[in-house]
Amino acid sequence: MQSTRWNALLVTMPPFAWITLFLFLPYCLLFCYSFWTLGEFQQILHHPTLTNYAHLFTNPLYLTVIFRSLRIAFSVVLLSLLIGYPLAYFLVFHSGRYRHLLYQAVIIPLWVSYLVRAYAWKVIFGNEGVLNTLLLWSHAVNHPLSFLLYSPFAVIVTLTHIYVPFVVLPVVASLEKIPRELLESSSDLGARPWQTFLRVILPLSLPGVISGATLAFLLSFGDFLAPLLLGGPSSVMIANIVANLFGADYNWPLGAAVAVVILIIVVTILSITQRLERRQRFA
Amino acid sequence: MSSRPAAVEHSIAAPAAEPAFLRIESVGKSFGTQRVLESISLDIQRGEFLTLLGESGSGKTTLLRIVAGFERATAGQILLEGERLDTLPPHRRPIHTVFQSYALFPHMSVFNNVAYGLRVRGCERAEAKSRVEAALAKVRMESFAKHFPRQISGGQKQRVALARALVNRPKVLLLDEPLSALDANLRVEMQRELKVLQQDLGITFLFVTHDQSEALAISDRVVLLHKGKIEQCGTPREIYARPHTAYSATFLGKSNLLRGVVKEGVVDCGIFSLPTQVPDGPTVFSLRPEAIAPASSSEGLVRFQARVLTEQFHGANTLVTLQCAGGVELTARLAAPLRSGESHSFAFRAEDCVPLEDGSQGKG
């Protein structure tokens, strides 16, 4: 009895310590910092105030950037689903013996550094990039298209490219879990293929869609590199602001306040989608 | 167990008076180089309860799936009321299936599951509602309409699956081992219910099972499949009493296979001889264990002496192993137990000893 209790403690201690040290304590610190302020000489004053939050909600900069980040993340999710769902569907139901190969093709980009993939889009979208050169050469345009790079467009395309696998994998998993008899049974009962899709396949794959979408949404919402490398001033995202506040501006309290707001948004979205996902599980 | 096509064709030909309702014509199926079905021909009458019986790998489920439209036959055709059926996709066939796993939609209530077929066909709302309620009442599940499949038991799922198929008034209902997931008592109960339902509705049932006692209990006609071919076809009584082959004899219940040599209308099995119409030569006979009884004074029986080797008590009867002269062992099903080691006189009626068609080939 005594030894099993020790064993249980031994097993639970490391993850517990990990969570405390690397999640709980940092969040607490962050939360505390968000109530401090900066003094005259950029030193941190440990007098709790709400000025950071007041500043955050009155200065339009922050709210604009937060809404822009949400908008960009939402567009990325939409695009990733539009590309990822059909891809996952094809992979599960129609790829036949090429299924394994195609599955690998979806995963392999994940092995390539994020930075490399982001730079690749820079090469494609630049004024003298692959795409503009091609368009000029084929006389489709007379001047290089400048909206391609350093724009929200570039950020959305890059993030979509990076996060499509994050949508495909859970959707594939949920499509694979649908028993084939259900599809046969649907067709047996007189449903045309599109009716089977809308009434059986789509509803049963929703858990995968929700988890994939959540992943893509949260990862894009907090993305920092894509706007830095490919975005212009019009596509600065909230993570860039946080990075600046902690870095160049050396305003840790305000940075912490922004981070706390992000955290609240993320946790809210997570709890909503988790509830949605739970409601969609039937098996 | 090689078949003789002429005899098989003969046994499955429909009575000429009634044209076939569902006709399976020389249907064959191969997966790659593996032949699963070899030229199956079968006529099924309207309102018939026909069972495809066979062990796993016999091709029974493949044949059912071809009729349902989930598999394509590589040869032959299927006609329903004289019209080609095998060229239609499953959703356009007036045939519904009850799956072994029930295949109820987990995200829909019992009501919505049953209403599914009507909805996808654009049935009017009020009509759909009354038909679904009637179908649920028919299988005594009306009080579970709002439940989800995960909240009901196996037997209840079975009933819902049945209602879901029947609500669409199919011309043929296919049942793929629908009772195999149920426990023994419930299974017998459901067999009875299925039979009553089928007679009540007059729908043609094509039932697949590997359970010979289920097949005998439930069917109007049994088709025994073996290695992708029809081994034998007939009413349960026919097929049980007059097996054509050693496989039929042993798959449908227990049987004693007796080797003998026929000479001028008399077969000599060593222990006994009896008259027969089989041509001269070596042959094999089937003798059911229950045909053997302790000899009494009655006339017209074939008698032999044997010693009781072992006995197995089965409740209603006792299965005993008998050792006859020359070391031949026979199994008998007796009403009253006998003590092992004792010697007795036993008897059976000559017509219960059925000559097998594949006997002369020395197999079995």
The whole-angstrom separation of Cα B36 and Cα B63 is 9
Q: In degrees rounded to 5, what are phi and psi of residue A199?
A: -95, -25
3-class DSSP assignment, residue A128: coil
Interface test with A, best of B66, B72, B97 (most A CBs within 10 A): B97
The whole-angstrom separation of Cα B48 and Cα B199 is 9
Interface test with B, best of A177, A184, A187, A189 (most B CBs within 10 A): A189
Q: What single letter denotes the amino acid at residue B73?
A: A
Least CB-CB distance to A188: which of B97, B107, B149?
Answer: B97
pTM of the entire predicted model: 0.83
Task: Label residue A41 by pLDDT band (50, 70, 90).
Answer: confident
Q: Is residue A10 part of a domain?
A: no
Is A177 in contact with B95 (CB distance < 8 Å)? no
Checking if the pLDDT of A141 tops 80, the result is yes
Asked if the C-beta of B69 comes within 8 angstroms of chain A's C-beta atoms, the answer is yes
Greatest CA span in chain B, whole angstroms?
A: 76
Beta strands in A41-151 (DSSP E): 44-45
CB-CB under 8 Å, A179 with B107: no
CB-CB under 8 Å, B103 with A190: no
The distance of A186 to chain B (nearest Cα, Å) reads 8
Q: DSSP secondary-structure letter at A198? A: I
CB-CB under 8 Å, A188 with B90: yes
Checking if the pLDDT of A31 tops 60, the result is yes
What end-to-end distance do the CA atoms of chain B give, in Å?
A: 8
Least CB-CB distance to B105: which of A184, A188, A200?
Answer: A200
- Bridge partners, B229 (sequence order): B226
Q: Which residue has the higher pLDDT, B124 or A43?
A: B124
- Tell which residue, B360, B338, B260, B341, has the closest CA to residue B302: B260
Buried b (16+ CB within 10 A) or exposed e, B135-167: bbebbebbebbeebbeebeebbbbbbbbbbbbb
Q: DSSP secondary-structure letter at A94? A: T
pLDDT of residue B45: 93
pLDDT of residue A83: 96
Q: Which domain does A213 fall in, by range? A: 59-280
Checking if the pLDDT of A51 tops 80, the result is yes
Q: In degrees rounded to 5, what are phi and psi of residue B202?
A: 70, 20
Q: What angle do CA A219, A221, A222 make, to 5 degrees?
A: 70
Q: Is residue A135 part of a domain?
A: yes
Burial environment of residue B330 by CB neighbours within 10 A (0 to 12, 13 to 18, 19 or more): buried
Is A47 in contact with A253 (CB distance < 8 Å)? no
Dihedral sign computed on CA atoms, order A139, A141, A142, A148: negative
CATH number at residue A235: 1.10.3720.10
Find the closest chain A residue to B71 by CA distance: A184
CB-CB under 8 Å, B97 with A204: no
Q: Tens of pLDDT along A99-114?
A: 889 999 998 888 888 8
State how many domains chain A has.
1
Instruction: Report the side by side order of strands in the sheet with B318-324.
Output: B293-294, B343-349, B301-313, B318-324, B329-334
Q: ipTM of the predicted structure?
A: 0.82
* B contacts of A184 (beta carbons < 8 Å): 68, 70, 90, 97, 99, 103
Is B216 in contact with B251 (CB distance < 8 Å)? no
Q: What single letter denotes the amino acid at residue A232?
A: G
Q: What angle do CA A115, A117, A119 make, to 5 degrees?
A: 70
CB-CB under 8 Å, A181 with B101: yes
The whole-angstrom separation of Cα B11 and Cα B7 is 6
- Could you tell me the CA-to-CA distances from B122 to A80, B113, B116 in Å, in that order? 34, 15, 10
Is B266 in contact with B309 (CB distance < 8 Å)? no
Query: Which residues, numbered 164 to 223 in chain B, qualify as contacts with chain A under a Cβ-Cβ cut-off of 8 Å?
Result: 164-165, 168
CB-CB under 8 Å, A283 with B106: yes
**Region A147-176 average pLDDT:** 92
Which residues, in sequence order, are CB contacts of A107 under 8 Å at separation 6+? A165, A169
pLDDT of residue B18: 59
Asked if the C-beta of B99 comes within 8 angstroms of chain A's C-beta atoms, the answer is yes
Which residues, in sequence order, are CB contacts of A135 under 8 Å at separation 6+? A141, A144, A145
Q: Which helix (H) or strand (E) holds A37?
A: strand A37-38
The whole-angstrom separation of Cα A206 and Cα B76 is 41
Cβ contacts below 8 Å, chain A against chain B, sum to 68
* A contacts of B110 (beta carbons < 8 Å): none
Find the closest chain A residue to B89 by CA distance: A187
CB-CB under 8 Å, A189 with B101: no
Q: In degrees rounded to 5, what are phi and psi of residue B338?
A: -120, 150
Task: Label residue A29 by pLDDT band (50, 70, 90).
Answer: very high
Q: In degrees rounded to 5, what are phi and psi of residue A229?
A: -85, -40
- Tell which residue, B211, B152, B131, has the closest CA to residue B178: B211
| pLDDT in 10s for each residue of chain B, 364 residues | 344 444 444 444 444 555 789 999 999 999 888 999 999 999 999 999 999 999 998 999 999 999 999 999 999 999 999 899 999 999 999 999 999 999 999 999 999 999 999 999 999 999 999 999 999 999 999 999 999 999 999 889 999 999 999 999 999 999 999 988 888 888 898 899 999 999 999 999 999 999 999 999 999 999 999 999 999 999 999 999 999 999 999 998 889 998 888 888 888 887 778 888 888 888 888 999 999 888 876 666 888 888 898 888 888 888 999 988 878 889 999 888 788 888 888 888 888 888 888 766 544 3
Asked if the C-beta of A203 comes within 8 angstroms of chain B's C-beta atoms, the answer is yes
pLDDT of residue A282: 58
3-state secondary structure chain B: CCCCHHHHHHHHCCCCCCCCCEEEEEEEEEECCEEEEEEEEEEECCCCEEEEECCCCCCHHHHHHHHHCCCCCCEEEEEECCEECCCCCHHHCCEEEECCCCCCCCCCCHHHHHHHHHHHCCCCHHHHHHHHHHHHHHCCCHHHCCCCHHHCCHHHHHHHHHHHHHCCCCCEEEEECCCCCCCHHHHHHHHHHHHHHHHHHCCEEEEEECCHHHHHHHCCEEEEEECCEEEEEECHHHHHHCCCCHHHHHHCCCCEEEEEEEECCEEECCCCEEECCCCCEEEEEEECHHHCEECCCCCCEEEEEEEEEEEEECCCCEEEEEEEHHHCEEEEEECCCCCCCCEEEEEEEHHHEEECCCHHHCCC
The distance of A208 to chain B (nearest Cα, Å) reads 15
Q: Is residue A165 part of a domain?
A: yes
Checking if the pLDDT of A188 tops 90, the result is yes
The distance of B217 to chain A (nearest Cα, Å) reads 27
Which residues, in sequence order, are CB contacts of A28 under 8 Å at separation 6+? none
Dihedral sign computed on CA atoms, order B209, B214, B217, B222: positive
Q: Is residue A50 part of a domain?
A: no
CB-CB under 8 Å, A182 with B105: yes
State the residue for tokens 């709980």. Answer: A24
Q: Is residue A39 part of a domain?
A: no
Asked if the C-beta of A241 comes within 8 angstroms of chain B's C-beta atoms, the answer is no
pLDDT of residue A47: 85
Q: In degrees rounded to 5, what are phi and psi of residue A147?
A: -75, -10
CB-CB under 8 Å, A187 with B148: no
Mean pLDDT of all residues belonging to chain A = 90
Asked if the C-beta of B32 comes within 8 angstroms of chain A's C-beta atoms, the answer is no
Q: Is residue A159 part of a domain?
A: yes
Find the closest chain A residue to B117 by CA distance: A189
Asked if the C-beta of B249 comes within 8 angstroms of chain A's C-beta atoms, the answer is no
Q: Which domains does chain B show, CATH number per domain?
A: 5-244 (3.40.50.300), 254-361 (2.40.50.140)
pLDDT of residue A177: 94
* B contacts of A185 (beta carbons < 8 Å): 97, 99, 103, 105
Q: Is residue A37 part of a domain?
A: no
Radius of gyration of chain A (CA): 24
3-state helix, strand, coil in chain A (%, to 5): 80, 0, 20
Q: Is residue A219 part of a domain?
A: yes
Is B194 in contact with B209 (CB distance < 8 Å)? no
Asked if the C-beta of B101 comes within 8 angstroms of chain A's C-beta atoms, the answer is yes
